[in-house]
Amino acid sequence: MGATDAAPPTASTALREATFAGLIAAGLSFPILALGTEIDFSNRLVLEQRWSWLVIAAALVFVGRLCALLLIDWRARFIAVPGTFPLVGGAALAAMTGAAGLSDGLVWMAIGAVLIVAGFALDRRLAARGAATASVPAPRATNPLFGKVLPSAGVIGLFLFPLIMLWLLGPAGSLKWINNYGIQILIFVMLGWGLNIVVGLAGLLDLGYVAFYAVGAYAYALLSTQFGLSFWLCLPLAGLFAALWGLMLGFPVLRLRGDYLAIVTLAFGEIIGAVLTNWTDLTNGKAGIMSIPRITFFGLPFTSGEGGFASTFGLEFSAIHRTIFLFYLILCLALLTNFVTIRLRRMPVGRAWEALREDEIACRSLGINTTNTKLTAFALGAMFGGFAGSFFAVRQGFVNPDSFTFLESATILAVVVLGGMGSQIGVALAAIVMVGGTEILRELAFLKSIFGNSFDPALYRMLIFGFAMVVMMIWRPRGLISGRSPSVALRSRKTVSGALVNEGHG
């Protein structure tokens, strides 16, 4: 499957290998797909057999593998392999729903077939061109796409995003897109960027990052409900508290490295969760803190009455105003995180973080106080986690310990690792894929027509994550963007290959 394949296999070997892959897929998916439990009308658990799902999974793998084997160029594979999904899905639709779904099924099959044929055509074309000109890999300069164009286009696009959505879908239709996609993804972009300081730059594996998120959220929740402080005052305070917790975590764990550090940070995340659950006098335990004051437009509440945001600006009241304001707020917070990180990378402390990740002993031999360097990384990463936490609290209006479980830490860490440790743009892309991907699964309701009404694509989230992770480990083991951009250059800035960059030892 790698680029080392010199010649494509013959049709018969490809067929044999694809059959083998299909059988493996059938075997592996048997316990997950072919058997399921259902609760029937009399509330009993019954075993349901879903052999059609097994056939579909095996067929998908078979056709996909066959395409991948017969195509040489990765671009051709990129087009043809996704085509197997509409092809097989359409066939299943046509076969299982009978006359009702026949036309739909045929349309999907046609789309799939077109993609696959296009892939094969492209492959022939590329093979012919490749034979004419022996390809010499160009030296890798910094990719301008990831260096300049993509980030600035992304920022402009993000600032326009709510307005475009509002214009396209109206206030009611755009709410889901701005809230579930926009804000949710941006929270994880910000958390990913914050954790990136600790994990990506300083190379300290932190499995309990959600603790700082929780500290920030509870800091706002408690300060606003108990002392009536405004969000704009609580935001820096929440960051400060989280940073202090970062220092508190930093001190005991500084002597630990690698696995030991990871375990202690994991424990720290669990401790915060346990304290929040059990210190009921302060946190109200599992019930959480309710009626946290909502965000205001610098003092103007987003309410329908007189003196609210809408009436002050002469607008018709709509709930979307608050959502759009929250969107811009988290966007600005995330961009602040990004700005500070990018600037700090060019400061002595940022270079010391990266040097620490590369070789701690060499750092000490150069007179760098590694203790302080680690502490600053912990504190700064925690501060941004705290900012994000207080944003979370003001957005939800309600916090309880269930929002700050290990799964959140794992998701944030996955965003950082998937993005490519240390790469800002990579982390942003990974957050879009991870969080946006989850939300997209909710949109795939049409799959119900294939798999039956009880089918909920969102339940397969973890399965798909796992699969995506395995695929990533094979194709891009160092994340979406693995190259490192130097912090300073004498003549020209050249991307450092990810293979040379250390991942840190804790």
Partner 1 sequence: MADPGPAADRQPLQRWTRDPLLVVEHLTMRFGGLVAVNDLSFQVGRGDITALIGPNGAGKTTVFNCVTGFYKPSQGRLALAREGRALPQDVAALTRTGRAHQRFPDGDLYLLERMRDFEITRHARVARTFQNIRLFPGMTVLENLIVAQHNALMRASGMSFLGLIGWPAYRAREKEAIDKAASWLERIGLIDRADDPAGALPYGAQRRLEIARAMCTDPVLLCLDEPAAGLNPRESAELNVLLRLIRDREGTSILLIEHDMSVVMQISDHVVVLDYGTRIADGTPEEVRNDPRVIGAYLGVEDEEELIQVEAEIAEVSS
Residue ranges in contact with partner 1 by CB under 8 A = 340, 343-344, 346-352, 354-355, 357-359, 361-370, 484, 486-494, 496-497, 500-502
Pick the closer one to partner 1 by CB: 60 or 368.
368
**Shortest Å distance, C-beta 414 to partner 1:** 22
Torsion of CA 482, 488, 494, 499, to 10 degrees: -40
Pick the closer one to partner 1 by CB: 211 or 344.
344
**Shortest Å distance, C-beta 503 to partner 1:** 9
Are 405 and 236 in contact by the 8 Å Cβ rule? The answer is no
Tokens of 230: 């405004």
Pick the closer one to partner 1 by CB: 257 or 494.
494
**Shortest Å distance, C-beta 254 to partner 1:** 13
**Shortest Å distance, C-beta 144 to partner 1:** 17
73-76 long-range Cβ contacts below 8 angstroms, 24+ apart: 73/122, 73/123, 73/126, 73/127, 73/130, 74/3, 75/122, 75/126, 76/119, 76/120, 76/122, 76/123, 76/126
Token look-up 């302080």 returns 372
- Which spans in 366-505 are helix H? 370-396, 406-419, 424-431, 437-443, 448-451, 461-475
Pick the closer one to partner 1 by CB: 16 or 346.
346
**Shortest Å distance, C-beta 349 to partner 1:** 4
Collapsed DSSP state (helix, strand, coil) of residue 399: strand
What is the distance between the alpha carbons of residues 196 and 203, in angstroms, rounded to a whole number?
A: 9
**Shortest Å distance, C-beta 333 to partner 1:** 17
**Shortest Å distance, C-beta 21 to partner 1:** 37
Pick the closer one to partner 1 by CB: 273 or 498.
498
373 — alpha (psi -120 to 50), left (phi > 0) or beta? alpha
Pick the closer one to partner 1 by CB: 249 or 352.
352
The gap between the terminal CA atoms of the chain, to the nearest Å, is 34
Q: From residue 363, give the alpha-carbon distance in Å to each of 309, 373, 439, 468.
A: 53, 10, 43, 36
Are 341 and 193 in contact by the 8 Å Cβ rule? The answer is yes
Q: Which residues contact 413 (CB under 8 A, 6 or more apart)?
A: 195, 199, 206, 207, 209
Pick the closer one to partner 1 by CB: 365 or 453.
365
Pick the closer one to partner 1 by CB: 136 or 488.
488
Token look-up 């030991």 returns 260
**Shortest Å distance, C-beta 482 to partner 1:** 11
**Shortest Å distance, C-beta 140 to partner 1:** 11
Query: What phi and psi, each to the nearest 5 degrees, are found at residue 210?
Result: -60, -20
Pick the closer one to partner 1 by CB: 329 or 344.
344
